[in-house]
Structure 1
Amino acid sequence: MINVLFSAPEGRWAQYERPLTEALDDAGVAANLSTHHSPEDVDYVVYAPNGGLSDFTRFTRTKAVLSLWAGVESIVGNETLTMPLARMVDDGLTEGMVEWVTGHVLRHHLNIDLHLHGQDGVWRDWVPPLARDRKVGVLGLGALGSACAQALAALNFDVTGWSRTGKAVDGIACHHGPSGLDTVLARSEIVVLLLPRTPQTENILDAAAIARLPQGAVVVNPGRGALIDDDALLAALDASHLAHATLDVFRTEPLPKDHPFWAHPKVTVTPHIASETRPASAARVIAENIRRGEAGKPLLHLVDRDAGY
């Protein structure tokens, strides 16, 4: 019998206890799952970074820390976390992100807001272009970015993708490196940010990068708040270089009530809902990783500490 510690904010245990128990049973793993194991007795930690656990020094027999979050920037630098760390990649996260991204890209492509906010008796006969004539750029071609790029391409959008290192995604014209970023930005009428937060990606959409976007471009960010220079974004919106920004992630969350994003007419704020971890699907990923760990197989979705994700 292995000991699995669930460490997450209060309230999450009620959501995860049953799905995790069932998933471990289905995986054939005999586990004592609890929120109160002694650190020295723990074999695996199921972990959310905002759950209060930050010192892993006493977890001397722990084989792996299995995060419930896709992003690991808040924990990857923890010097006490010396055991393997796996991030969350699961079908529920991917499907949720694809649905949110395609919904907002379609919203801006069709200019739905024009009619939602224009119920004033004016017959606006603006006709959108077809998707094949709309250029969309996706920055970040990991599991989420690749899935979103392919979903948009399946709707016939003209999609290009960018990553820091070279990647290949079926059906997508892929670019990488600084020159590749310039190429993608220069053509993107709608740009979607799905990069991890690392020292190399912070403020990747700064004033200079925003200036490379076409006049009237739209920014959609469900990735990480720190990918964008907030002041540069607001300046570009005020100058009408950018038409709109739809933002799901922010440097401070919840977004402070006095932040200018709330009141800006060209900004849409959504409360970090683009891709919430669903307990049922996340539990299956956790259980599979524990099964693999106990069988001596490589864990899924291991974090590269040097790369930061």
Structure 2
Amino acid sequence: MLTVLFAAPALWPEYEPHLPAALAEAGLTARIVTEAAPAEVDYIVYAPASPLQDFTPYTRTKAVLNLWAGVEKIVGNPTLTQPLCRMVDPGLTEGMVEWVVGHTLRHHLGMDRHIVNPARVWDPTCPPLARERPVTILGMGALGSACAEALRALNFPVTGWSRTEKPGQLHGAQGLRQALSTAQILVTLLPKTPETENLLDADRLALLPRGAVILNPGRGALIDDQALLAALDAGQIGHATLDVFRVEPLPQDHPFWSHPKVTVTPHIAADTRAVTSSRVIAENIQRGEAGEPFLHLVDRARGY
């Protein structure tokens, strides 16, 4: 019998109805525990807030299965020598697509001025069609690709940019300049790595068309906060809808809260769903037991 350590005890009540069922459905016989002797553990289900930080004693463990898409809080742990898999959850992807499409349409249609209109201004100006509103997505992994597909289905012209070369996508420094230059709406879905931190600094914000909108459901550190505030004040950026921040919860005195051109959403763009992510975990354990490659294995050199 396999021993699966669920090393995110605060989340166990959410997973208790689903993970055992997913493992059984995959034909796996396993006991799932929130505490175990390290020498007994075959797999670790993990969240970065876990009290488990020293992986050295877990010599039997075949893989650490992260519950979140982001791995920046664990990938640099020097004691972690076991394979690390990030979470690519269909439920999380679906939630991200809904958030990105919803806020893209909100800004494209100018909905804010109609929803909050205390002066009762009658402005019959119609927005352009979606096909006339270029969108750029930075980060064309599973989430970015799904968002691009949904937006293209609504006729938005979508430009994708990736850090590394991918078919049909812009990449590299020159590609980034090109991707930013047309982005009336910019969506950031990159992981946090040393290369992506402050990727959107003052110089790159200046490359965007004047009045562009930024949607950031990726990572807070992708954008230089002070540069963004300056660009908003100068009118270079028309609005920023931000779901992720360098410090969370966002401190009450942070200027994002009170800025008239910033919308704060409290890291709700996408969440790992216990029902669907349990199936992903079960499939990876099944693959590990069959000697097959793990899904969504993290490249330690790249950091994701």
Task: Please tell me the TM-score bracket, short chain as reference.
Answer: over 0.9
Counterpart for residue 66 of structure 1:
65
Counterpart for residue 155 of structure 1:
154
Q: TM-score, normalised by structure 2?
A: 0.99
- 2:176 is the alignment partner of 1:202: no
- 2:130 is the alignment partner of 1:135: no
Q: TM-score, normalised by structure 1?
A: 0.97
Match of 1:251 among 246, 250, 254: 246
Where 2:147 maps in the other structure, the secondary structure is helix
Q: What is the distance in 2 between the residues matched to 1:43 and 1:142?
A: 29
What are the equivalent positions in structure 2 for 1:208-223 lying under 5 Å apart?
208-223=203-218
Write out per-residue CA displacement over residues 38-96 of structure 1, whole angstroms, 9 at most, x where no aligned residue: 11210000000112211111111100000000000111010101000000002111111
Write out per-residue CA displacement over residues 209-244 of structure 1, whole angstroms, 9 at most, x where no aligned residue: 000001000000000000000000000001111110
Write out per-residue CA displacement over residues 249-272 of structure 1, whole angstroms, 9 at most, x where no aligned residue: 011111111111111110001111
Counterpart for residue 182 of structure 1:
177
Counterpart for residue 94 of structure 1:
93
Q: Please report the RMSD computed on the Cα atoms of aligned residues, expressed in angstroms.
A: 0.8
* Cα deviation, residue 18, structure 1: 1.6
Q: What is the distance in 2 between the residues matched to 1:298 and 1:28?
A: 18
The one-letter code matched in structure 1 to 2:265 is: T
Where 2:287 maps in the other structure, the secondary structure is helix
Counterpart for residue 115 of structure 1:
114
Q: What is the distance in 2 between the residues matched to 1:83 and 1:131?
A: 46
Q: What is the distance in 2 between the residues matched to 1:208 and 1:74?
A: 28
Q: What is the distance in 1 between the residues matched to 2:53 and 2:125?
A: 54
Counterpart for residue 264 of structure 1:
259
- 2:164 is the alignment partner of 1:165: yes
Write out per-residue CA displacement over residues 144-201 of structure 1, whole angstroms, 9 at most, x where no aligned residue: 0011111111100011010011113xxxx52110000000101000000000111111
CA contact (8 A) 2:9 2:34 kept: no
Q: What is the distance in 1 between the residues matched to 2:23 and 2:227?
A: 47
The one-letter code matched in structure 2 to 1:181 is: L
* Cα deviation, residue 9, structure 1: 4.8
Counterpart for residue 45 of structure 1:
44
Q: What is the distance in 1 between the residues matched to 2:116 and 2:236?
A: 21
Percent of pairs with identical residues = 65
The one-letter code matched in structure 1 to 2:240 is: A
Q: What is the distance in 2 between the residues matched to 1:142 and 1:213?
A: 22
Q: What is the distance in 2 between the residues matched to 1:47 and 1:107?
A: 35
Where 2:101 maps in the other structure, the secondary structure is helix
Structure 1 unaligned regions, length at least 5: none
CA contact (8 A) 2:202 2:227 kept: yes
Where 1:181 maps in the other structure, the secondary structure is helix
The one-letter code matched in structure 2 to 1:8 is: A
- 2:2 is the alignment partner of 1:7: no
Counterpart for residue 78 of structure 2:
79
Structure 1 residue runs of 4 or more that deviate by more than 4 Å after TM superposition: none
State the aligned residue count.
304
Q: What is the distance in 2 between the residues matched to 1:59 and 1:270?
A: 38
Q: What is the distance in 1 between the residues matched to 2:264 and 2:121?
A: 27
Q: What is the distance in 1 between the residues matched to 2:18 and 2:255?
A: 40
CA contact (8 A) 1:9 1:50 kept: no
The one-letter code matched in structure 2 to 1:7 is: A
CA contact (8 A) 1:5 1:45 kept: yes
CA contact (8 A) 2:89 2:277 kept: yes
- 2:278 is the alignment partner of 1:283: yes
Where 2:126 maps in the other structure, the secondary structure is coil
Structure 2 unaligned regions, length at least 5: none
Q: What is the distance in 2 between the residues matched to 1:121 and 1:298?
A: 60
Where 2:18 maps in the other structure, the secondary structure is helix
Q: What is the distance in 1 between the residues matched to 2:233 and 2:49?
A: 35
Counterpart for residue 229 of structure 1:
224
